[in-house]
Amino acid sequence: MLQNMTEGASLKLIIPFTVPLLIGNVFQQLYNIADIIIVGRTIGVNALAAVGAVSPLFMLTMVLTIGLSNGFTVVTGQRYGAQDMQGMRRSIATCVVLSLFFVLLIIGIMHLVIDPMLVMMNIPPELMEDAYAYVMIIVDGLLAMMAYNLLSGIMRSLGDSKTPLYFLIISSIVNIILALVFIIIFGWGVPGSAFALVIAQAFSAVLCVIYIYKRFPQLHIHRSDFQLDWPELWAHLRMGLPMAVQFSVLGLGIIILQSVCNKFGSDQIAGFTTAMRVEQLALQPMISFGIAMAVFTAQNFGARRFDRIRDAVHRCSLLTLAFSLFAAVVVFAFGEEVIGIFLDNPSPTVMEAAHLYILYTVPVYFFLSQIFIYRNACQGMGVSMIPMLSGMVELIMRSIAAIYLSVPFGYEGICMAEPIAWISCAVFVFAAYHYFVRLLEKKYTPVN
């Protein structure tokens, strides 16, 4: 069901929209977490380390598709908020064309640069074969990932967050079943995990296509909708490219962080990988509110309702503060128990590495929560340069901290890098949002 967010109490719209989005994001994390658990407990620490060592490359390709699709569909949401149905369908057609072009471009580039990237990431020799196989299967299946992210992004931009959730739950179950079959029964090892992931994503994309075709005739695009020109393409590129750059910059920061971590051996890689998976689960409420904020802001920006944007940002900022405190308590209290799920009898070194990362990052979850709210609000208002610049702030601070702090402090220096990056970025996006919301409100408010 499509939903207009330009009328009604902001939280009464945002919270019901966010809940299925949150559940969906948790299930999306199960794609990775299921792989990590199955690989770690059935194959061993080295297999887990191999997947973890290249997980930033997987994350880079994933966030590129998410960044492009989320950026492109901001335009779709704005036109829906302005009740421009013809423009909305033309936007969907443009999203399809641009997404296909960029996913093929990303696949081609990754094939060219994968070997030097793996060398740059300091992958231990004993992990190289599995690491290479895993990441290349993911790259070659990138079209499925882009298709699901685009189709679910279109539905969310129009106020429907429940349907993508249902399909994601189904595909997550498919992923877990296939991973168990491919690894345990067929004996495919680490590549089996990657194949399961790609097939499950393709399945969810097919479900989205069938559902949109049968339930939403107003979203059906025709040949006339593909009459693209440069202004139409640029309207989407100016939103999608900065978002993609922002996510890719963040991905590069994680790659640099992982490459420094990879120098410390398999136990530290395994500990770092499991700790980051626990963190990703804990942060899902904040991430979900951020996505909801982008949709809400885009529709209300299309309707020029800046009062509603201000109110929603303020209320969601307080809500994510509460969630960040709750997540910090939960991770501190149960983090080690959750880490133990990933491996069968993990060594003390692995547990120590995971616990140390949690110890440094949990206290600053609040700053990270504010990044999601203010950055996505800027994105929804069409200020696409702010998400990109905020990503650069994170990249610079994370890279400098990881490279230079790891020299005197070793692995502990890597754990310090994330809090430094988050605090710096939070300050930047907070100031940017308040500057641009005043500027845009003044620009679009008619003078009596």
DSSP assignments along 179-222, one per residue: HHIIIIIS---HHHHHHHHHHHHHHHHHHHHHHHHHH-GGG---
CA distance 265 to 257: 14
Among 55, 57, 50, 56, smallest CA distance to 124 is for: 50
- Indicate if the pLDDT at residue 215 is higher than 90: no
Question: Under 8 Å CB-to-CB from 396, ≥6 apart: which residues?
Answer: none
**Mapping DSSP to helix (H, G, I), strand (E, B) and coil, where does residue 447 land?**
coil
CA distance 113 to 98: 22
Q: Please answer whether residues 393 and 375 qualify as being in contact, where contact means their C-beta atoms are separated by less than 8 angstroms.
A: no
Instruction: For residue 345, give the DSSP letter.
Output: S
Q: How confident is the model at residue 111 (pLDDT cuts 50, 70, 90)?
A: very high
What CA–CA distances, in Å, run from 20 to 115, 140, 188, 215, 382? Answer: 39, 30, 34, 19, 25
- Largest Cα span, the chain: 73
pLDDT for res 144? 92
CA distance 320 to 219: 33
Q: What is the pLDDT of residues 56-82, one digit of tens each?
A: 787 778 778 877 887 788 788 778 877
105 vs 446, more confident = 105
Among 209, 279, 211, 239, smallest CA distance to 1 is for: 211
- Indicate if the pLDDT at residue 51 is higher than 80: no
What would the two tokens of residue 195 be? 């194949």
Q: What is the pLDDT of residues 118-163, one digit of tens each?
A: 888 788 788 888 888 988 999 999 999 899 889 988 887 777 777 8
Q: What is the pLDDT of residues 243-291, one digit of tens each?
A: 777 667 767 777 777 788 878 877 787 778 777 777 777 777 887 888 7
Q: Please answer whether residues 126 and 108 qualify as being in contact, where contact means their C-beta atoms are separated by less than 8 angstroms.
A: no
Q: What does pTM read for this prediction?
A: 0.70
pLDDT for res 35? 67
Rounded to the nearest 10 degrees, the angle between the axes of helix 411-444 and helix 266-282 is 30
What would the two tokens of residue 158 be? 């129009």
Q: What is the pLDDT of residues 153-203, one digit of tens each?
A: 888 777 777 788 788 888 888 888 898 899 888 888 888 888 998 999 899
Burial class (CB in 10 A: 0-12, 13-18, 19+), 446: exposed
pLDDT for res 165? 77
DSSP assignments along 23-36, one per residue: HHHHHHHHHHHHHH
Domain-wise residue ranges, the chain:
10-443
Locate all alpha helices (DSSP H) within 82-189, ordered by sequence. Answer: 85-120, 128-140, 142-157, 162-180
CA distance 180 to 192: 9
Number of Cβ within 10 Å of residue 305's Cβ equals 20
CA distance 312 to 324: 18
Q: State mean pLDDT over 198-224.
A: 86
CA distance 220 to 48: 43
Burial class (CB in 10 A: 0-12, 13-18, 19+), 105: exposed
Among 309, 224, 303, 290, smallest CA distance to 425 is for: 290
Residue 405: which H helix or E strand, with range?
helix 385-409
Instruction: For residue 84, give the DSSP letter.
Output: -
